């Protein structure tokens, strides 16, 4: 029954956040300097710093050397989006995962793909079109381009049983990536493949990945109708 509010950075973070929520410090206000605030809250400056960084990460406050810490006036809504490997996503929803290779070709990618991957000189890539299934029904239509220059081994991999994603994930660590989310009206062919009506709106997620500036892959995932992404403020 003892409320031993131990000093911990999470506790400190919540207390500072509380001072903002209850109006002690309002939008645009300047908070005390770290050293003073730490003393006031009874913790080390390092601990306060840890707490403040968490608040700064979520976009609640803004910190500047010499400028001090202020409550953001124009807070951005900053959310973390987790996009798991499709197989795991399907399985997490309690369905049986399936994979079906539609087509596999090699070609130089069209300009938009090359541009998205920031390729200066477009080179031959492997194009893989496939379906991810959930309990036998289409879950996602995937249209992928893989760089044969960065990942030559992919040419020898059997992609009829194993998704290119699964192979890449295990064999080519990614150093950074971009994501683009948009809405799309599906054409006749897409509609048929993902079990939608022609013209129906679907969510399209494109991902571009690189290893140290060398392009790995561009994936365009056309989700089935009704699919949505969820995100939330970081805890």
Partner DNA sequence: AAGTGGTCTAGACCACTGA
Partner DNA sequence: CAGTGGTCTAGACCACTTG
Q: Which residues bind its own copies (CB under 8 A)?
A: 17, 20-21, 27, 59-60, 73-85, 88, 169-170, 173-185, 199-204, 207, 211-212, 226-233, 235
Q: Residue 156 and residue 151: Cα distance in Å, rounded?
A: 10
Under the binding rule (CB under 7 A), the answer on residue 87 touching DNA is no
Q: Residue 108 and residue 127: Cα distance in Å, rounded?
A: 9
| Residue of 136, 125, 133 lying closest to 168 (CA atoms) | 125
- Evaluate whether 133 touches 97 at the Cβ level (below 8 Å): yes
DSSP state of 155: G
| Residue of 85, 73, 89 lying closest to 28 (CA atoms) | 73
Name the residue nearer to its own copies (CB basis): 4 or 76: 76
Binding segment toward DNA, per CB under 7 A, in 14-22, 26-34, 90-98, 115-123: 26-34
Q: Which two tokens stand for residue 202?
A: 């679907």
Under the binding rule (CB under 7 A), the answer on residue 228 touching DNA is no
Backbone angles phi, psi at 165, to 5 degrees: -60, -50
Q: Taking CB within 5 to 8 Å according to partner kind, which of DNA, its own copies, none is near residue 106?
A: none
Under the binding rule (CB under 7 A), the answer on residue 31 touching DNA is yes
Q: Taking CB within 5 to 8 Å according to partner kind, which of its own copies, DNA, none is near residue 207?
A: its own copies
Q: Taking CB within 5 to 8 Å according to partner kind, which of its own copies, DNA, none is near residue 35?
A: DNA
Q: Taking CB within 5 to 8 Å according to partner kind, which of DNA, its own copies, none is near residue 82?
A: its own copies
Pick one of 14, 19, 29, 50: the residue that binds DNA (CB under 7 A).
Answer: 50
Pick one of 26, 64, 121, 228: the residue that binds DNA (CB under 7 A).
Answer: 64
Q: Which two tokens stand for residue 124?
A: 């031959």
Own/partner contacts of 191-199, CB < 8 Å, gap of 24 or more, are 193/102, 193/131, 193/138, 193/141, 194/131, 194/138, 194/140, 194/141, 194/222, 194/223, 194/224, 194/225, 195/137, 195/138, 195/224, 195/225, 196/224, 196/225, 197/225
Under the binding rule (CB under 7 A), the answer on residue 224 touching DNA is no
Q: Taking CB within 5 to 8 Å according to partner kind, which of its own copies, DNA, none is near residue 47?
A: DNA
Least spacing, CB of residue 70 vs its own copies, in Å:
14
- Evaluate whether 195 touches 134 at the Cβ level (below 8 Å): no
Positive or negative: CA dihedral 162, 168, 121, 112: positive
Under the binding rule (CB under 7 A), the answer on residue 171 touching DNA is no
Least spacing, CB of residue 69 vs its own copies, in Å:
15
Q: Taking CB within 5 to 8 Å according to partner kind, which of DNA, its own copies, none is near residue 121?
A: none
Name the residue nearer to DNA (CB basis): 38 or 164: 38
């Amino acid at each position: 029954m003892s409320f031993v509010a131990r000093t911990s950075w999470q506790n400190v973070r919540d207390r500072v956040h509380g001072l903002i929520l209850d109006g002690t410090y309002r939008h645009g206000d300047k908070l005390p300097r770290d050293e003073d605030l730490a003393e006031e809250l009874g913790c080390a400056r390092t601990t306060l710093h840890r707490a403040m960084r968490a608040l700064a990460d979520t976009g609640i406050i803004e910190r500047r050397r010499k400028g001090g810490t202020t409550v953001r006036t124009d807070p951005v809504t900053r959310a973390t989006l987790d996009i798991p490997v499709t197989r795991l996503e399907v399985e997490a929803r309690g369905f049986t995962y399936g994979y079906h290779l539609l087509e596999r070709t090699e070609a130089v990618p069209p300009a938009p793909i090359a541009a998205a991957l920031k390729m200066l000189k477009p080179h031959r890539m492997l194009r893989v079109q496939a379906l991810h299934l959930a309990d036998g029904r289409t879950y996602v239509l995937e249209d992928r381009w893989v760089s044969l220059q960065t990942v030559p081994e992919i040419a020898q991999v059997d992609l009829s049983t194993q998704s290119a994603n699964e192979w890449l994930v295990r064999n080519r660590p990614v150093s950074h990536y971009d994501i683009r989310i948009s809405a799309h009206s599906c054409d006749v062919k897409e509609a048929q493949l993902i079990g939608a009506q022609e013209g129906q709106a679907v969510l399209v997620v494109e991902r571009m990945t690189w290893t140290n500036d060398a392009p790995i892959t561009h994936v365009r995932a056309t989700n089935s109708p009704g699919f949505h992404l969820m995100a939330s403020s970081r805890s």
